[in-house]
């Protein structure tokens, strides 16, 4: 496609009768030609060059830098969205004695106790479930590792243990305000791979629910980071994330989200960042066989081989060497087989992505068959609310030691899982048999 346009060299703009457009910008190839030679070439080629002044709008073009072609899109010149930093001020503890530091740490520890915020939780807070429309909020969990379990038929199941720290809802962005949401204004913030606006933004189906997990000492963070949790009335969190939530499942700021948000037998999806393997070759990254080990093979033992036809360009998506891992991936359709309300542990069937002690996002499964099954027996919407506020934890040392022995006594198992405190085999006496 050829159109007329104006090419700007610094403060000089040159009118070109014909230019080739590529994508969202003009394709300009200089191939190491200086500015003076380029102007002389354009003058000889087109007869005259029209120099424009300040009224000429600068065009975003594709420039040739050495041997690489750099695509300049209009959104590349925008300012990046502002992100609040978690790093604390190193000078915050100056002129403070050790006794005062211990006293302040003890006072802050009292505020970090996982208690429900003073919100009016009643039985009427549960809302009706809308089939194929309701999308609930998720949880932020920490991966602890793999633990084996057995079914009642003797089949071994490798389960992933996730611990759910104190999760609280921070804020909710309705679908009507997504255009004003800061991080969604810049395409680099959310859809960098395809540079297209997601369909759920245009359709106004879901909003964004911001959730924070793992309360921490306010001294460890900056004042800007601590200010994000002031409106919710919760301590500063180490991890915050966003979930797609339908308007009928939105949570008020400060609402606690416990593991009772899910039930034993529910199917969930786990999203986490995979293990970073670094730069790997095609054999390690894609499992290619490589070249022969001997018989005349020279420097071709672990190479990729042919990447394109003779004289052809390499197609987009070709499996090649590069950075392996460190990408967000989802494990879908994992069933909850066991829960521990005392320690906030969730046992999922199968492995999940990510290293041990990494954060992961836990939400209702998006698989269509699990969605239909969830409509038949819907979970609590928008979340599970306790009938009464819990009593403050006791600091008695005897009760603390008592919890060490019966911390797994309240575990909830799936009906197909064998409990370790039950006998694995039983024998019945036959009364009619001879001695």
Break the chain into its structural domains and give their ranges. Answer: 2-77, 136-275+325-387
**CATH for the stretch 136-275+325-387:** 2.40.30.10
Question: Is the confidence at residue 64, as pLDDT, over 80?
Answer: no
Indicate the range of 76-80, 94-98, 108-112, 115-119 predicted with least confidence: 115-119
Mean pLDDT of 24-33: 40
Predicted confidence (pLDDT) per residue in 218-273, tens digit: 888 888 888 889 888 898 999 999 999 999 999 999 899 999 999 999 999 999 99
pLDDT band at 293 (very low <50, low <70, confident <90, very high): confident
Q: What is the model's pLDDT at position 105?
A: 78
**Predicted confidence band of residue 70 (pLDDT cuts 50, 70, 90):** low
Whether the per-residue pLDDT at 40 is higher than 70: the answer is: no
Range scoring the smallest mean pLDDT among 75-84, 250-259, 413-422: 75-84
Nearest alpha carbon to residue 160 among 337, 341, 419: 337
To the nearest whole number, what is the mean pLDDT of the chain? 75
In which band, very low, low, confident or very high, does the pLDDT at 50 lie, cut at 50, 70 and 90?
Answer: very low
| b/e sequence 343-380, b meaning 16+ C-beta within 10 Å | ebbbbbbeebbbeeeebbbbbbbeeeebeeebeeeebb
Per-residue pLDDT, 273: 94
pLDDT at 77: 55
- DSSP-derived 3-state class of residue 168: strand
Residue 72 pLDDT:
57
pLDDT at 417 > cutoff 80 = yes
Q: Lowest mean pLDDT of 106-120, 231-245, 270-284, 336-350, name the range.
A: 106-120
Q: What mean pLDDT do residues 16-22 have? A: 42
Each residue's pLDDT tens digit, 353-407:
999 999 999 999 999 999 999 999 999 988 988 764 444 444 444 444 444 446 6
| Most confident option among 11-20, 95-104, 325-334 | 325-334
Q: Residue 137's pLDDT is what? A: 94
Q: For 113-119, what is the mean pLDDT?
A: 48
317 backbone φψ class: left, alpha, beta (φ>0; ψ -120 to 50): left
Q: What is the mean predicted confidence (pLDDT) over 29-54? A: 46
Question: Mean of the pLDDT values across residues 138-142?
Answer: 95
The pair of three-digit structure tokens given for residue 48, joined into one six-digit string:
């005259």
Is residue 302 within 8 Å of 290, Cβ to Cβ? yes
pTM above 0.75, yes or no: no
pLDDT tens track for 156-185: 999 999 999 999 999 999 988 877 765 555
Residue 154 CB neighbours (<10 A): 8
Q: What is the arithmetic mean of pLDDT over 65-72?
A: 53
pLDDT at 149 over 90: yes
The mean per-residue pLDDT over the stretch 181-201 comes to: 56
124: burial class by Cβ within 10 Å (0-12, 13-18, 19+)?
A: exposed
Q: Which of 192-206, 293-307, 350-364, 370-384 has the lowest mean pLDDT?
A: 192-206
Q: 242-246, 420-424, 430-434 — which is least confidently predicted?
A: 430-434
Tokens 């009427």 identify what position?
124
d(CA 308, CA 390): 65
Compute the distance between CA of residue 361 and CA of residue 143 in angstroms, rounded to an integer. 10
Q: What percent of the chain has pLDDT over 90?
A: 36
pLDDT of residue 60: 38
CB-based contact 208:173 (threshold 8 Å): yes
Does residue 104 sit in helix, strand or coil?
helix
d(CA 154, CA 225): 50
Query: What is the average pLDDT across 142-168?
Result: 94
pLDDT of residue 75: 52
Q: Does position 320 have pLDDT exceeding 50, yes or no?
A: yes
Q: Of the ranges 62-71, 283-292, 385-394, 409-418, which one carries the lowest mean pLDDT score?
A: 62-71
What does the DSSP assignment read for 191-223?
Answer: -TTT-S--HHHHHT--EEEEEEEEE--GGGS-H
**Per-residue confidence (pLDDT) for residue 322, from 0 to 100:** 92
Which pLDDT band, with edges at 50, 70 and 90, does 190 fall under?
very low
């Amino acid at each position: 496609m050829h159109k007329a346009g104006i090419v700007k060299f610094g403060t000089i703009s040159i009118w070109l009768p014909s230019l080739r457009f590529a994508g969202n910008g003009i394709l300009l190839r200089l191939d190491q030609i200086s500015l003076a030679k380029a102007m002389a070439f354009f003058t000889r080629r087109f007869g005259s060059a029209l120099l424009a002044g300040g009224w000429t709008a600068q065009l975003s073009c594709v420039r040739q830098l050495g041997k690489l072609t750099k695509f300049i899109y209009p959104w590349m010149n925008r300012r990046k969205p502002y992100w609040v930093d978690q790093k604390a001020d190193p000078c915050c503890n100056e002129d403070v004695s050790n006794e005062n530091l211990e006293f302040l740490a003890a006072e802050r520890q009292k505020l970090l106790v996982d208690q429900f915020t003073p919100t009016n939780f009643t039985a009427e807070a549960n809302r009706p479930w809308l089939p194929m429309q309701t999308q609930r909020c998720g949880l932020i969990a920490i991966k602890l590792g793999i633990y084996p379990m057995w079914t009642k038929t003797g089949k071994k199941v490798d389960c992933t243990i996730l611990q759910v720290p104190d999760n609280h809802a921070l804020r909710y962005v309705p679908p009507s305000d997504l255009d004003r949401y800061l991080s969604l204004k810049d395409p680099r913030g959310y859809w960098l791979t395809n540079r297209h606006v997601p369909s759920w933004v245009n359709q106004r189906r879901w909003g964004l629910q911001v959730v924070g997990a793992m309360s921490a000492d306010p001294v460890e963070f900056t004042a800007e980071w601590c200010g994000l949790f002031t409106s919710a009335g919760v301590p500063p969190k180490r991890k915050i994330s966003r979930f797609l939530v339908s308007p009928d499942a939105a949570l008020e700021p400060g609402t606690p989200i416990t593991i009772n948000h899910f039930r034993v037998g529910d199917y969930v999806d786990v999203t986490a960042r995979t293990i970073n393997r670094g730069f790997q070759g095609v054999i390690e990254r894609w499992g290619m066989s490589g070249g022969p080990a001997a018989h005349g093979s020279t420097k071709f033992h672990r190479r990729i081989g042919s990447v394109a036809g003779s004289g052809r360009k390499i197609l987009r998506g070709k499996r090649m060497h590069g950075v392996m891992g460190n990408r967000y991936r989802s494990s879908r359709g994992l069933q909850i087989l066991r829960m521990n309300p005392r320690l906030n542990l969730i046992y999922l069937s199968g492995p999940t992505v990510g290293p041990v002690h990494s954060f992961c996002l836990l939400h209702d499964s998006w698989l269509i068959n699990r969605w239909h099954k969830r409509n038949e027996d819907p979970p609590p919407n928008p979340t599970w609310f306790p009938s009464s506020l819990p009593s403050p934890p006791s600091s008695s040392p005897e009760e603390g030691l008592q919890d060490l022995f019966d911390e797994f006594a309240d575990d909830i198992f799936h009906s197909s899982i064998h409990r370790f405190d039950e006998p694995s085999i039983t024998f019945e006496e036959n009364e009619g048999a001879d001695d």
